Amino acid sequence: MIGNTLRSLQVAFAVLECVAENQPVGVSLISRELELPKTTVQRSLEALAREGWILRSDNRDWILSSKVLGLAAHMDVQKHLSRVAKPAMKKLTEAVQETVHLTVLEGSVVVLIEKSSPARALRTWSRIGGTQPAYTASTGKAMLAPLSDEEIRQIVGTELAALTPRTVTSFDNFMKKIKETRRKGYAINDREGNPDITAIAAAIVDRLGRPVAAISISAPSSRVPRSKWAEYGALVIGAANSVVV
């Protein structure tokens, strides 16, 4: 079953790529290009159309939809954010000798789009493209804080699942964390998403004050005692404010 699903996905991606390269394009050309039966191509085209990735042109051939173009534009925005934030991230890494992350908010999760790692052997592990529930991440809190309470409720919901014993699972208690973030200008994740990691973050905002990303210092909790939180908070605020988007 898994093998069949994987094969179907591979075919669908191949068909989508063929449409992108040859649009407007019909079933016959795709079938020849990919050396696939027309019935297989037609099924993939119909599935892609149902999901909104392609649509019919005026002559009934297939073309990409605005959904694909929107995804491409979205990726360009993330590349731009990574590029303009890198100098501040590198400077912050050199200052604290800890891993620095850049994330964006995607629905109810934060997505890691860039990181800067120190030379030291023991550091936090992370993967570009990795996600984490926003309510458990310092960067998530930092990006949620500028929003209205109702916007936050709609994004995170009111049922917050525990990832560690320290995860805040009450929405009311979570909002207390948000109010603290608003007051201080930086957010703290003290072992809420990972039992061994503490992170401190600040939001990068646009000219209207809306959050577009967040920068965090992430380290083993043993290296980020409470006595360092204010110092690191000031550093991430400075780094975030230096990024012009």
Residue-wise pLDDT for 62-116, tens only, equals: 988 877 766 766 677 788 888 999 999 999 999 999 999 999 998 899 999 899 9
Range of the structural domain that residue 29 is part of: 2-67
Do residues 42 and 88 share a domain?
no
Buried b (16+ CB within 10 A) or exposed e, 163-200: beeebbeeeeebbebbeebeebbbbbbbbbbbeebbbb
Does the pLDDT at position 161 exceed 60? yes
Element (H, E) at 162: none
**CA distances for 127 relative to 77, 87, 142, angstroms:** 19, 20, 20
Give CA–CA dist 127/13, Å, rounded. 24
What is the CATH classification number for the domain harbouring 16?
A: 1.10.10.10
Does the pLDDT at position 2 exceed 70? no
Are 59 and 24 a contacting pair, CB within 8 Å? yes
Give CA–CA dist 3/73, Å, rounded. 32
Do residues 35 and 145 share a domain?
no
Beta strands in the chain (DSSP E): 54-56, 62-64, 99-106, 109-116, 131-133, 187-190, 197-205, 211-220
DSSP single-letter state for residue 154: H
Give CA–CA dist 22/27, Å, rounded. 11
Do residues 47 and 153 share a domain?
no
Do residues 210 and 105 share a domain?
yes
Looking at 14, 32, 67, which one is the last position of a domain? Answer: 67
Do residues 123 and 53 share a domain?
no
What is the CATH classification number for the domain harbouring 107?
A: 3.30.450.40
Do residues 14 and 95 share a domain?
no
Do residues 106 and 11 share a domain?
no
Q: Virtual CA dihedral for 24, 27, 30, 31, nearest 10 degrees?
A: -170
Do residues 161 and 190 share a domain?
yes
**CA distances for 244 relative to 34, 79, 211, 213, angstroms:** 45, 14, 12, 11
Kindly report, residue by residue over 200-225, the tens digit of the pLDDT: 999 999 888 889 999 999 999 999 99
Do residues 58 and 79 share a domain?
no
Do residues 41 and 110 share a domain?
no
Tokens of 20: 């992108």
Do residues 195 and 231 share a domain?
yes
Looking at 67, 84, 99, which one is the last position of a domain? Answer: 67
Where residue 135 falls among pLDDT bands split at 50, 70, 90?
very high
Give CA–CA dist 65/48, Å, rounded. 10
Q: Which of 166, 176, 104 is nearest to 140 (CA)?
A: 104
Question: What is the average per-residue pLDDT within 12-39?
Answer: 90
Are 164 and 192 a contacting pair, CB within 8 Å? yes
pLDDT at 140: 97
Looking at 67, 93, 111, which one is the last position of a domain? Answer: 67
User: How distant is the alpha carbon of residue 19 from its chain centre?
Assistant: 27
How many domains are contained in the chain? 2
What's the chain's average pLDDT?
89
Do residues 87 and 205 share a domain?
yes
Does the pLDDT at position 50 exceed 60? yes
